[in-house]
Structure 1
Amino acid sequence: MLNQIDLARVDLNLLTLFEVVLAEGHVGRAAQRMHLTPSAVSHGLGRLRRLLNDPLFLRTPKGVVPTARAMELAEPIAQVLAGARSIVSSAEAFDAGSSTRRFTIGAPDGVSAVLLPPLLARVRAAAPGIALSVRQLLPEPGDAAVERAWRGAYAELEARTMDIAILPAASSPARFHAQVLYEEDFVLALRKGHALAKAPTLDRYCEAEHLVVSQTGDGHGFVDQLLAGQGRSRRVALTVPNFLFALSVIAETDLVSALPRRFVALHGARHGVTVVEPPLPLGKFQLRAVAPHAAMMDAGLDWLFALLAQSRPAPAKTPTRPPARVRK
């Protein structure tokens, strides 16, 4: 059985030292920023090297550069410090107008691209000192059940390395507070002038070449399951890792993709991408802001939830094709 490390014997201030030296790339500048002497910073780095069993930073004529191990540790250490700062700041009375807190929000990029513009406008108006970090969330590959597909996001919420997750989930585990932000469905996105737009029948849709948004490169998605239920199939010619990249590719090719309606309504026009209604029902889903019930005692988090609710998008207006003329 592995021995647990006694954190009482570890100076956690060394993690802050690591963060500052990594950011500055120079012992002297790190010392100035932390109001220490260069000797004290060097001494702290020596303790940290012994603790982590790695040189961590190598001296160069212009400063220091991180080792490969230091780069591996950068993100976990940043998450630990972010969680600690969140805990400390939540113990203070929260005043949005004067707060300088940083909140971390996780969401699929097709969701954050819809919510972020109105949310940022409200944050700037009500709380100019507050900062946001937005992270892309992706489901676990191969898991259809919502709780398992997003288990990584739920784990990060409970670890307090992320404040709020916005998930396409009809429900969440009982230990989480959830608030519906908006309902979404899918449309077909294609370049302007695409032949499919004139007659988007199911046959022509299946004959087209398709683009699927997939971080893992797996071309089989929920649309394929729906088509298989009707004895149909399609050819996925390309997968890309995010929705914004999908728009730029669609604009320059004859590829067709099923994308979230509000996302395309907001960002499609600037890419020269238009939409048509799909020839088969692609279903609807709810986007919910989620956080642990225990975390909701934080007045700052409660404030951010309220601001997200105010940032709900209006119902998307999708252009419709004029009815076909009937020859007499």
Structure 2
Amino acid sequence: MSTPDLNLLLTLDAVLAEGSVARAATRLRLSPSAMSRALARLRETIGDPLLVRAGRGLVPTPRAQELRGQVAQLVQDAQALLRPAEKLDLGQLSQTFTLRTSDGFVENFGPALIARINAEAPDVRLCFIPKLNKDSSLLRDGSVDLETGVVGDATSPEVRTRALFRDRFIGVVRSGHPLSQLTMTPAVYASGKHVLVSRRLHNKGPMADVLKPFGLERDIAITVGGFSAALALARTSDLIATVPERHTGNLRAGMHSFVLPFPTDEITVSMLWHPRMDADPAHRWLRACVWEVCAVNVSQIGTSIPEMQTAGD
């Protein structure tokens, strides 16, 4: 079966609305001969004359009367579909966005983001869900609108990203911890018991490679799945937690934080979304809110821990 010429819908709509071939031609800006050819194709496609002569005028056939309302709606819907999106009215926007993030992101940036959203679009709701892996399938199937995290090898190449801020790892212990009274060196850092953040079994974390040149290895006493859990355990024990500084600012309140006594690579925290949402006005507004909230928060926090000389400086 051949593909129908959808342009004929415009011809049909004009002919049925005007009840005149001449007026339909004027409406469509066609010459009389072009309109006659289009009407001939239309009659052949539908298998009905559509308009028949009655005296000096034309009257619609029963088939034409049956199609009139349906065709008009189809044309209106198509025109609306192809029209550029209307300007976003945040006051009327009513939508729930699902964000997949870490607990640390919600703790540090959530309050400011919620305040920003409520001020600009009161009927918008946010749903934060935990990020347990880097699988991009939830973005692909639309279950998640936006997520934050470090872009890695497991991130799908189709996903769009934008950097939010750079971060670095620091050490954290409870207030009054014996280690807080010592000069920090690689040996001092490695001497205590550590809580490791990892979602993979038998993974010793990035600090394992950094300590190797010193001939040191951490004593991993506990492994947890998130930074908030690591800090909660370190707050009430002698465990040492190693966490991103800016990502955990509020979670570390009242604890002793220190710069690691060896150089480590910075990490870049980004937001990620599926390309099909790239041009959506509401989604673009959400991304702008997240980016601006993070930019303001990071500029206000800065680097909260004074720099110190590392071993070997």
TM-score band by shorter chain is 0.5 to 0.7
Partner of 1:204: 188
Decide which of 152, 157, 168 is 1:185's aligned counterpart: 168
* TM-score, reference length from structure 1: 0.61
Deviation at 1:102, TM superposition (A): 0.4
Segment drifting more, 157-166 vs 239-248: 239-248
1:138-153 paired onto structure 2 within 5 Å: 138-139=132-133, 150=134, 152=135
Structure 1 pair 230/111, CA: closer, same or farther in 2 (3 Å)? farther
Q: Helix, strand or coil: the match of 1:311?
A: helix
Deviation at 1:321, TM superposition (A): 8.5
Distance 1:299 1:166 in 2: 20
Partner of 2:240: 256
Partner of 1:142: none
Does structure 2 retain, via aligned residues, the 8 Å contact 1:215–1:240?
yes
Partner of 1:291: 273
Does structure 2 retain, via aligned residues, the 8 Å contact 1:219–1:239?
no
2:280 pairs with 1:280: no
Decide which of 163, 174, 188 is 2:145's aligned counterpart: 163
The one-letter code matched in structure 2 to 1:290 is L
Partner of 2:227: 243
The gaps in structure 1 that reach 5 residues or longer are 1-90, 140-149, 324-328
Segment drifting more, 219-228 vs 181-190: 219-228
% identical aligned pairs: 24
The one-letter code matched in structure 2 to 1:192 is S
Deviation at 1:174, TM superposition (A): 4.7
2:89 pairs with 1:101: no
2:159 pairs with 1:176: yes
Q: Helix, strand or coil: the match of 2:195?
A: strand
1:3-152 paired onto structure 2 within 5 Å: 94-139=88-133, 150=134, 152=135
The gaps in structure 2 that reach 5 residues or longer are 1-84
Does structure 2 retain, via aligned residues, the 8 Å contact 1:170–1:285?
no
Partner of 2:59: none
* TM-score, reference length from structure 2: 0.64
Q: Helix, strand or coil: the match of 2:127?
A: strand
Distance 2:228 2:303 in 1: 20
Distance 2:251 2:235 in 1: 12
Deviation at 1:92, TM superposition (A): 8.5
Distance 2:233 2:131 in 1: 22
Partner of 2:41: none
Deviation at 1:123, TM superposition (A): 0.6
Does structure 2 retain, via aligned residues, the 8 Å contact 1:218–1:239?
no
Q: Helix, strand or coil: the match of 1:297?
A: coil
Distance 1:267 1:162 in 2: 25
Structure 1 pair 92/133, CA: closer, same or farther in 2 (3 Å)? farther
Deviation at 1:254, TM superposition (A): 1.0
Report the RMSD for the aligned CA atoms in angstroms: 2.5
Deviation at 1:208, TM superposition (A): 0.8
Distance 1:263 1:305 in 2: 18
Q: Helix, strand or coil: the match of 1:138?
A: coil
Deviation at 1:252, TM superposition (A): 1.3
Of the two, which has the highest radius of gyration?
2
Structure 1 pair 174/110, CA: closer, same or farther in 2 (3 Å)? same
Decide which of 286, 304, 308 is 1:318's aligned counterpart: 304
Distance 2:202 2:123 in 1: 41
Distance 2:293 2:152 in 1: 20
Q: Helix, strand or coil: the match of 1:314?
A: helix
Segment drifting more, 306-315 vs 253-262: 306-315
Does structure 2 retain, via aligned residues, the 8 Å contact 1:98–1:129?
yes
Deviation at 1:227, TM superposition (A): 1.8
The 4+ residue runs of structure 1 with deviation greater than 4 A are 91-94, 170-174, 216-219
Distance 1:109 1:215 in 2: 14
Q: How many residues align?
A: 219
Structure 1 pair 92/160, CA: closer, same or farther in 2 (3 Å)? farther
